[in-house]
Structure 1
Amino acid sequence: MSYADVNGINLYYEIQGSGRPLILLHGGLGSGEMFGASLAAFTAGYQVILPDLQGHGRTADIDRPLDIATMADDVAALIDHLGLDKPDVVGFSLGGGVGLHLAIRHPEKIGKLVSASAGIRRGATYPEILEQQGQVTGAAAEFMKETPMYELYQRVAPRPEDFPRLLDKIGEAMQKDFDLTDEVRGLRVPTLVMGADADMVPPSHFVEIFNLLDGGLRDGGWTGEGRPKGGHALAIVPGTTHYDIIDSPLFATLALAFLAKRD
């Protein structure tokens, strides 16, 4: 359990296991503990680095907006700080978005990426979810006191009283429009696009992302000659939602199978 002063933030991280480096990036209002159900599978063959992103878990917030691109820069700086040689990255939800920005902004720093349950256009999210996101403010803190997210924050955060501030920042961030279509189309990092079959966005959105990566546009061929040239892949995890995909045994199985294949 350590802290790294990187990119203007005191970033908490843990390292578990040994082998090729693998960074796991958690979802919103979570921490590295979100990977508890699959951590043993990842640490069996990897040196796993678990950072807590800005304002989450054991990383205290600082005076800057919650911006996914900036958080990606934090992770890039952590890679340099630890001297990691092109680690693979697995991100879920918020962490999946951070992973995508990391691959877009710092492709030379990472090996492969698994981006799970992360859309690339705000408009792809179901309207009722956008409506719910619009209600996320610090005023909601009182109503979240019985939730696992609140319990985790109160247990590990350096300043537990900052929870309403975190909700304000997350709510503000979720109101910003975004569209990474052009950036994803030029992605050079081999990427597994993963989503639940009942996610915050329809499965067709994950197919759309795969299409942008030259996937799903033709028959793959007997020897895989028709697969995407960049080594990209797609996985829709059956029987899961945005809220439990990370706990499915298939989450680690699919991610590890993708990461293990080296061209």
Structure 2
Amino acid sequence: MPYQQISGLRVHYRDHGRGDPLVLLHGLGSSSADWAFQAAPLGDHFRLIAPDLRGSGRSDAPPGPYSIAQFAADNWALLDDLGIERSHLLGFSLGGAVAMEMALQRPYAVARLMTINTLPSYRLDSWRKRMELVSQVAIVRGLGMRRLASLAARRLFREPHQAPMRRRVLEVVGNAPRVPYLDTVRALAHWCALDRLPGLQSEMLMLAGEHDYTPLSEKREYAERFGAKFAVVGGSRHGTPFDAVNSCNAVALAFFRGQPLPAAETLRIDTPERAPLAAPAAFSN
């Protein structure tokens, strides 16, 4: 089980596949295991490096405060130790913010950058963002992580055939340590890259679920503003790598291989017949 010592921090990561390096960055309250559904198809073409951010998964959880810049610096230190000078980046939700921050810290070292359901700023500049933060903190402090996970599971995965995904949220987020989780929430709420994104040098793609927490119009506006490609998965909510596995994988493969993206009308949530019944074991190291 691979670990790396970085400035006194023990970081767990997964190293899978072969080819050009592709760093996978997980979402809030989870770990590198987020990418189980992407590991097999992407690992056929790329060397996947998937770290657990500090405070998450099997990595150490030192006392906070945390910051997105710190998460990004941790990951660059890991890549330096692994001898990786240039890579692609793929981040989901929180991981997308970390991926953007990494690309801003070392623009020359990122080939292609893809985010899934991520904004370039999470500062509390709207009532929607303030309510998201206040409600999360209140639920965690008053009712605990298990209750937060239960509410998130029903919000993320509403279809009957998505029961396995609801169970996964309960297991993973419900067992996440409370203090590091809140430290990470606060780190995200203080992060903004809007004034720095013109400094990006890599090609960028923003993938969005049709029914994500934040409006499509907001993400589309950001994509146009910063010259990023933009694609939408119909019917998907926030958990696009889980509720639209086939579309998510098709888009990622095409983008990172420099090929045309799949036609917009083909990007849809997984049907009951195609939806996974459980996470595969191929990415279990």
Describe the SS at the equivalent of 1:71.
helix
Structure 2 letter corresponding to 1:129: E
For 2:148 and 2:135, locate their aligned partners in 1 and report how far apart those are by CA, in whole Å. Answer: 14
Shift of 1:233: 1.4
> Residue deviations 1:207-233, cap 9 Å, x none?
12212223xxxxxxxxxxxxxxxxx41
Distance 2:127 2:43 in 1: 33
Shift of 1:142: 5.1
Q: 1:81: which partner in 2?
A: 81
Secondary structure of the structure 2 residue equivalent to 1:239 = coil
Higher helix fraction (1 or 2): 2
Corresponding residue for 2:18?
A: 18
Task: Output aligned runs, 1:103-122, within 5 Å.
Answer: 103-122=103-122
- Following the alignment from structure 2 to structure 1, what is the Cα–Cα distance between the partners of residues 196 and 75? 19
Q: Does 1:133 align with 2:136?
A: yes
2:249 corresponds in structure 1 to 252
Matched, 1:164 2:178: yes
Instruction: Tell me: CA distance 1:180–1:103, structure 2 relative to 1, closer, same or farther (3 Å).
Output: same
2:171 maps to: 151
Question: In structure 2, how many angstroms separate the alpha carbons of the residues matched to 1:78 and 1:136?
Answer: 34
Query: More deviation in 59-68 or 94-103?
Result: 59-68
* Alpha-carbon separation, structure 2, partners of 1:177 and 1:78: 24
The answer as to 2:185 corresponding to 1:185 is no
Which TM-score applies when normalising by structure 2? 0.75
2:140 and 2:148 in contact (8 A); partners too: no
Among candidates 210, 230, 233, match of residue 229 of structure 2? 233
Task: Tell me whether 1:210 sits opposite 2:230 in the alignment.
Answer: no
Aligned length: 238
- CA deviations on 1:40-71 (whole Å, 9 max, x unpaired) are 11111111111111111110201232211110
Measured after TM superposition, the shift of residue 79 of structure 1 is 1.2
Paired residue for 1:227? none
| CA distance in 1: counterparts of 2:126 and 2:214, whole angstroms | 6
**Normalising by the residue count of structure 1, what TM-score does the alignment of the two structures yield?**
0.81
Indicate the residue corresponding to 2:276 in structure 1: none
SS in structure 2 opposite 1:240?
coil
**Aligned amino acid, residue 213 of structure 1:** F
Q: Distance in 1 between matches of 2:233 and 2:38?
A: 15
Distance 1:191 1:99 in 2: 11
Structural RMSD (CA): 2.5
- Once residues 125 and 53 of structure 1 are traced to their aligned partners in structure 2, the CA distance between those partners, rounded to angstroms, is 28
Q: How does 1:195-206 map to 2 (within 5 A)?
A: 195-206=208-219
Q: Tell me: CA distance 1:67–1:136, structure 2 relative to 1, closer, same or farther (3 Å).
A: farther
Alignment gaps of 5+ in structure 1: 155-159, 215-231
SS at match of 2:223: helix
Gaps of 5+ in 2: 151-166, 260-285
> Are the equivalent residues in 2 in contact too, given 1:194–1:206 (CA < 8 A)?
no
Q: Percent identity?
A: 26
2:43 corresponds to: 43
Q: 1:125 to 1:119 in 2, by over 3 A?
A: farther
Q: Secondary structure at the match of 1:96?
A: helix
Helix, strand or coil at the partner of 2:138: coil
- State whether residues 25 and 99 of structure 2, in contact with CA within 8 Å, keep that contact through their aligned partners in structure 1: yes
- Residues in 2 aligned to 1:254 and 1:125: alpha-carbon distance in whole angstroms: 32
Q: How far did 1:88 drift?
A: 0.7
Q: Which amino acid aligns with 2:138?
A: Q
Contact in 1 for aligned 2:97/2:118 (Cα 8 Å): yes
